[in-house]
Amino acid sequence: MAKRMLEDTKSKKGRIIFNIIVAIIFLLLIAGIFYISPNYVKEDREGKIGILINNNDVTLSMKKDIYKDENNNIYLSREDVKNYFDKYINYDEETGEIITTSEINIARMHVGSNDISINGVEDTLNSQVLEKNDTIYIPFSEISEKVYDVNLNYIESTDTIVIDSLDRKQEKATITKNTNLKYKTTGFSRTLSKLKEGDEVIYIQDVEDWTQVRTKDGIIGYVKNDVLGKKETVREDKEYVKKVEGKVNLVWDYYSEYVNAPDRTNQTIDGVNVVSPAFFSLETGSNGEIFDNCNEEGIRYIEWAHNNGYQVWAMFSNNSLRDTTSNILNDYEKREYMIQNLLNLAEKYNIDGINVDFENMNGEDKDLYSRFLIELSPQLRRAGKTLSVDVTAPDGSETWSLCFDRDTIADVSDYIIFMAYDQHGPSSKKAGTVAGYNWVETNIKKFLGQEDVDAEKLILGIPLYTRLWKETNGEIDSDVVNMKDIQSEVPEGLVANWDDELKQYYAEYEENGSTYKIWVENEKSVQEKIKLANNYKLAGIAFWEKDRETNDEFWTMVKEELNK
């Protein structure tokens, strides 16, 4: 009996061990299936035309179906063009007009028309812009290279469209022996294609022992590194814009349209690398014509600047002409005419960039002002010239602050300049500083936060002036005082106290029944603002304006502080 019980116990233990082994094997099989199965997943295109954009398969991400006509012309929907090539493409439902831009081009088309204007040059397409099922279709294969600087290739054998940006680096390589193109980086993975020795592929990236490639049939997959020959560069990355090396240190050189450019022969401005002279402006009633105040004196100014290693970003002002500005912004033809005039002037005088300084605009023209810059930027970039745009603090009046879409402006321009001054200006109802440290910092944070501006594009504008405020019987008035003149504008021996919140000296005094107040801008307050630009890793600084500074040593201080 005891012996039989012992045998039963052994038998039960054996069955338990056997069951455990079976369970482990089963779990391992399940794990193996889960490990291998992702390598065999096949995305279902559901009869769609495949599309690769810069080696990314976006077939299932397209918002609308691709349209292909009987001649294999490829049409992309306006929504997909916006998503992948021009997020600022503009369509006017009333006129059927489409305006689209790329890094270096601008084009204008109309629904149902073969006509197209590219960078101001009229042309005729073989295909029309179509409207099908309430969707606007752009004849993309015909304009891909002309407008968007991309190459489009339709591969009939795999029913796939391959689009490559011509401004991006591309490398190719040759397969050195017959191999399989794999779906994933493992030998267990599904085979996508059979590759033969001598086949050329487009190199995409290395992934450990594997390399991701694209075949001539537009199939993307992986091959082992040891079957890929030496890479050969097909084209390099393109560089369009001549930007400033290092941090921008700009000074505006302002003078009215009634004055010639200053003669700065034998002068140098230590550390400055950009000057912005007041060359161009609008006049009342302009329809896109630009007043040219460069002339012979300006040509000598440009020669002086270039001889001293300064870039010239000519200022283009609207002279605060609200109605004239609105008239131009609301008409594409006038905007185009103004842009072409500006480009002609930039080429004529061999300047390095344009500084757009439009102020006092209608709030309802906010998007149209952005359209102007969207249409201007690619043409300046194509010409190798820099675009900088002046804007005010994010919060304020409709015509002074709310007329700027700072996010879009920063996106399309090379630099956006925050004019961080007139915190308290001529219309202020109380005396106050022109540019207090805390106010400046708060607004820098707004630019980088709520306005979504990249620090590397933001330049901090710093005033070289202050205001002397006069309060008499409840009435308030102020006069601008240049930094260099502050000592001569206040009583001798006046004691000023440092305000650590504003990072400025403050002083006040009584005279003839009036109270005078002044928040001093000097080397110390400017140093603090430069520290702000450095702390937030901004693109640089700009000063309004030349000849308001104390002396030449001021610029040496600025250079040293900026480059700490």
pLDDT digits (tens), the chain, 564 positions: 544 544 555 566 666 776 677 667 766 655 454 445 455 445 566 779 999 999 999 999 999 999 999 999 999 999 999 999 999 999 999 999 999 999 999 999 999 999 999 999 999 999 999 999 999 999 999 999 999 999 999 999 999 999 999 999 999 999 999 999 999 999 889 999 999 999 999 999 999 999 999 999 999 999 999 999 999 999 999 887 667 889 999 999 999 999 999 999 999 999 999 999 999 999 999 999 999 999 999 999 999 999 999 999 999 999 999 999 999 999 999 999 999 999 999 999 999 999 999 999 999 999 999 999 999 999 999 999 999 999 999 988 999 999 999 999 999 999 999 999 999 999 999 999 999 999 999 999 999 999 999 999 999 999 999 999 999 999 999 999 999 999 999 999 999 999 999 999 999 999 999 999 999 999 999 999 999 999 999 999 999 999 999 999 999 999 999 999
Q: Angle 332-348/322-329 helices, nearest 10 degrees?
A: 100
Distance, CA of 514 to CA of 250 (rounded, Å): 38
Say how many residues make up the chain.
Answer: 564
Distance, CA of 468 to CA of 508 (rounded, Å): 9
- Cα separation values, 401 from 143, 222, 354, Å: 38, 53, 21
- Residues 222/262, Cβ–Cβ less than 8 Å: no
* For the chain, domain boundaries: 50-165, 170-235, 248-463+522-562
Q: What is the pLDDT of residue 8?
A: 56
Could you say which of 3.40.228.10, 3.30.457.10, 3.40.30.10, 3.40.50.300 is the CATH number of the domain covering 50-165?
3.30.457.10
The DSSP call for residue 228 is B
Q: Retrieve residue 424's tokens.
A: 């308290």
Q: What is the pLDDT of residue 10?
A: 56
Task: Order across the sheet with 90-92: list the strands.
Answer: 90-92, 97-101, 106-110, 115-118, 121-124
| ∠ Cα 236 237 241 (to 5°) | 135
Q: What is the pLDDT of residue 64?
A: 96
Q: What is the pLDDT of residue 187?
A: 86
Q: What is the pLDDT of residue 483?
A: 98
Which backbone phi and psi does 368 adopt, to 5 degrees? -70, -35
Distance, CA of 136 to CA of 156 (rounded, Å): 24
Distance, CA of 509 to CA of 516 (rounded, Å): 5
Distance, CA of 497 to CA of 519 (rounded, Å): 10
Distance, CA of 224 to CA of 273 (rounded, Å): 50
Identify the bridge partners of residue 112 per DSSP, sorted by sequence position: none
Q: Give me Rg for the CA atoms of the chain.
A: 33
Distance, CA of 427 to CA of 382 (rounded, Å): 42
- Cα separation values, 30 from 20, 26, 34, 38, 41, Å: 15, 6, 6, 13, 16
Phi-psi domain of 343 (left: phi exceeds 0; alpha: psi -120 through 50; beta: other): alpha
Phi-psi domain of 225 (left: phi exceeds 0; alpha: psi -120 through 50; beta: other): alpha
Q: What is the pLDDT of residue 32?
A: 53
- Could you tell me which residues come within 8 angstroms of residue 224 by beta carbon, excluding any fewer than 6 positions away? 179, 209, 210, 211
**What is the fold, at CATH topology level, of the domain defined by 248-463+522-562?**
TIM Barrel (3.20.20)
User: Rounded to two decimals, what is the model's pTM?
Assistant: 0.90
**What is the fold, at CATH topology level, of the domain defined by 170-235?**
SH3 type barrels. (2.30.30)
